Amino acid sequence: MPILKKNLKTKTSLSSFKKNLNGNPKITKEKEFIFNNDQLKKNSITNFRKILTFYRNLHRDVRDKKLAGFHISFTDYWGRALSKKILPFQENKSLTFSSVRKLPSFKNYDLPFPILISNLRWPTNDLEKINNDLIDSKTSQIFEFNPYEFGSWESYLEAFVKIKYLGTMLNDGIPIFKINNNSICVNGFDNIGFITATSSSLFNSVIFFIWKLIGRSKKETYTAFNTVLKIFGLNINDNNQSTGFNKHHPDYALFSPNPFFGYNHGKNSLKISKIPHLFLVDGGEDGQNVPFQPFLTVKNREVDLIIAIDSTSDKCNYPNGTTLKLTAQRYHGSSFIDNNNQSTYESIMNTSRNNFDYINNRNNEKLKNSTKIKIENRHDDIPSSFWTAVGDKEKIVEHDIFPEIPDLGDLVKNNFNKKPVFFGCDLDKAYPVRAFNNKNAEHKDKTKTKIKTRNNNGTKKIWFPPLIVYFPNSNYTFESNQSTFKLQYGHDEECKMIENGYSILTYGNSSSYLTNKENYETENIRFDQCMGCAAMKREFDRIERGINRNYFQKESKHNLKKNIYYSVNNQTEIFEIPKICVKCFEKFCYN
């Protein structure tokens, strides 16, 4: 862009920048995006006016947010760019995530329920600390957005606030500002472009890479880069004397003010309740690129099946199952442990405390009379394990909620990174065992295990984790291992990518893979049938364990150890898993 050309006045500054770059033998994705982007090379004076208009409009749109008194970041620009390209209402700048609930298609259940996730970061200006403090999949702090709420299911918070009130300055749910004794709340902060951009915000990684290079380059390069940022109303200060939350860090998605400020309902929520801003990044920065968490840890969503599409760039821009292993490590036998460096946290609080002290010093009597935005505590909705009853003595067994995953070597060796795989088929064997005869479980009779978890109406209910159907990105019809930073696709590429995606999710267009085998005569079994079996798997489990009320049990006269289940509506009908499903499970189940 001419702006860059104008500010990089000499060849020396640019050559120095690239010379330092070439000194690093490791070619990163960020480097390729910056220097090997064909689209950037093609931008010439012929289309400069179009490009300038696009960025000028982005700048105008984001400026409105800044003029309203909010801090802005790269993610605000990214959100507007996404909105202009992919949203059906491109000219509606004020479309919010909470307004999705008003769409007739949403009310009629014609749309899927959208859930977006992001990771919380604790920023610092210390480059070395950033480099050594990558998000750990075992302890990452995951936030969820949906059309109703924003918050986290993890033990460090376990709370949600209404998403339409994001941007409102709260103290334990009470709005701080009032006019004529009326509480002032903000609407519109949950802009759908901004929320979408937050869940895909990688700017902290890109800027960190650039900043390291600039640190080794001439002063002119630093000045040029900082000037470009200032044009967009952004500023990254390289002063390392202060740390973290008193800076606005435009390379993160900035949620300020923090809606959970002052919300201190337990030891784990203490840190979140004291920080003035939330800094969020791409939900995959902890390595968990497949967002299992919203469906594993919320039993009241009653999810029986997770369709997991893995487009991670592990090797040659294809997945090798690393994201599965990282999620397994998170849930196998461990709960959330906050391992954030305590000294860093204290430094953050010391530098930012003055910004929010006035909240605690306000007239408490007025706050008590203010309208309160309820912050929902969700501790009782979150399972950390589940129970089964096994063996002749009907032992009560406690399991982790994520199934066993093969080692990466075995996963690749068995081509599990190139075809669909079902994880978690066998409830008794597929999930790691935590304990036997757990005191939190009680026997109802010989075939039922009642767990002390309750629905909202107070009734007890057994919960099983969902079956996972894993679809890794693979080359069925087209090389789909495209870079995250590829920003433009031709029409032919679009069609081929979509066709390959169709082939991935249908296992080669549901081609028949079993014929004339093992007494199945001429019956062909297609993958679409197996997907139907996967969707019914947990219902089969509930029937076989005496949980489904539409079936009742009788002891078998021929095998006293086996119980047979009959349909309540037709007492001569004996339940059996369909033979097609049995074969599908044999073919696709890992465990």
User: Which DSSP helix (H) or strand (E) runs through 179?
Assistant: strand 178-179
**Is the pLDDT reported for residue 210 higher than 70?**
no
Tokens (6 digits) for 19: 């010379």
Radius of gyration, CA atoms only, the chain:
27
- Grade residue 537 by pLDDT with cuts at 50, 70 and 90: very high
Q: Do you know the residue count of the chain?
A: 591
- Grade residue 6 by pLDDT with cuts at 50, 70 and 90: very low
- Grade residue 158 by pLDDT with cuts at 50, 70 and 90: confident
Question: Tell me, what's the pLDDT at 572?
Answer: 62
**Is the pLDDT reported for residue 403 higher than 90?**
yes
Q: Identify whether the C-beta of residue 191 lies closer than 8 Å to the C-beta of residue 94.
A: yes
Calpha distance 137→286 (Å, rounded): 5
In the chain, the percentage of residues whose pLDDT exceeds 90 is 24
Question: Tell me, what's the pLDDT at 538?
Answer: 94
Phi and psi of 463, rounded to 5°? -125, 135
Helix (H, G, I), strand (E, B) or coil at 487: coil
Question: Tell me, what's the pLDDT at 48?
Answer: 63
Pairwise pLDDT comparison (240 vs 317), residue with the higher score: 317
**Is the pLDDT reported for residue 16 higher than 50?**
no
Calpha distance 410→390 (Å, rounded): 29
**Is the pLDDT reported for residue 144 higher than 60?**
yes
Q: Identify whether the C-beta of residue 294 lies closer than 8 Å to the C-beta of residue 154.
A: no
Give the dihedral sign, CA 19/23/25/31: negative
Calpha distance 402→241 (Å, rounded): 43
DSSP state of 73: -
Question: Tell me, what's the pLDDT at 127?
Answer: 45
In the chain, the percentage of residues whose pLDDT exceeds 70 is 60
- What does the mean pLDDT of the chain come to? 72
Helix (H, G, I), strand (E, B) or coil at 162: strand
Count how many Cα atoms sit within 13 Å of the Cα of residue 494 in the half-sphere of its side chain.
Answer: 5
Question: Tell me, what's the pLDDT at 244?
Answer: 43
Helix (H, G, I), strand (E, B) or coil at 150: strand
Helix (H, G, I), strand (E, B) or coil at 523: coil
Distances (CA, A) of 433 to 335, 392, 520: 15, 18, 36
User: Which residue intervals of 9-116 are DSSP H helices?
Assistant: 11-22, 29-35, 38-42, 48-67, 74-86, 104-107
Question: Tell me, what's the pLDDT at 104?
Answer: 93
Find how far residue 211's CA is from the centre of its chain: 27
Tokens (6 digits) for 467: 């079956």
Tokens (6 digits) for 201: 């915000």
Q: Identify whether the C-beta of residue 440 lies closer than 8 Å to the C-beta of residue 452.
A: yes
Q: Which one of 116-130, 332-346, 436-450, 574-588 scores highest in mean pLDDT? A: 574-588
Residue pointed to by tokens 């076989």: 544
80-84, 328-332, 560-564: least confidently modelled range: 560-564
- Write out pLDDT tens, residues 496-518: 999 999 999 999 887 655 544 44
Helix (H, G, I), strand (E, B) or coil at 7: helix
User: Which DSSP helix (H) or strand (E) runs through 460?
Assistant: none
**Is the pLDDT reported for residue 84 higher than 70?**
yes
β 376-377/305-310 pair status: unpaired
Q: What single-letter amino acid sits at 430?
A: A
**Is the pLDDT reported for residue 466 higher than 90?**
yes
Q: What b-and-e string marks burial along 23-33, b requiring 16 or more CB atoms within 10 Å of the CB?
A: eeeeeebbbeb
- CA angle (109, 112, 117) in 5-degree steps: 140
Q: Which one of 257-271, 282-296, 308-322 scores highest in mean pLDDT? A: 308-322
Distances (CA, A) of 552 to 327, 445, 559, 572: 37, 14, 17, 11
User: Which residue intervals of 308-407 are DSSP H helices?
Assistant: 322-331, 342-360, 364-368
**Is the pLDDT reported for residue 99 higher than 80?**
yes
Classify burial at 343, counting beta carbons within 10 Å of its beta carbon; exposed 0-12, middle 13-18, buried 19 or more.
exposed
- Write out pLDDT tens, residues 270-288: 678 888 889 888 877 777 8
Calpha distance 333→321 (Å, rounded): 20
Tell me which residue of 253, 133, 127 sits closest to 200, measured CA to CA. Answer: 253
Find how far residue 66's CA is from the centre of its chain: 27
Mean pLDDT confidence for 285-297: 84
Tell me which residue of 442, 437, 465, 438 sits closest to 452, measured CA to CA. Answer: 442
Tell me which residue of 157, 159, 124 sits closest to 141, measured CA to CA. Answer: 157
Q: Identify whether the C-beta of residue 446 lies closer than 8 Å to the C-beta of residue 406.
A: no
Give the dihedral sign, CA 341/346/349/350: negative
Neighbours of 471 (CB within 10 A): 20
Specify which residues 462 forms β-bridges with.
Answer: none
- Write out pLDDT tens, residues 119-142: 888 766 544 444 444 566 677 788
DSSP state of 300: G
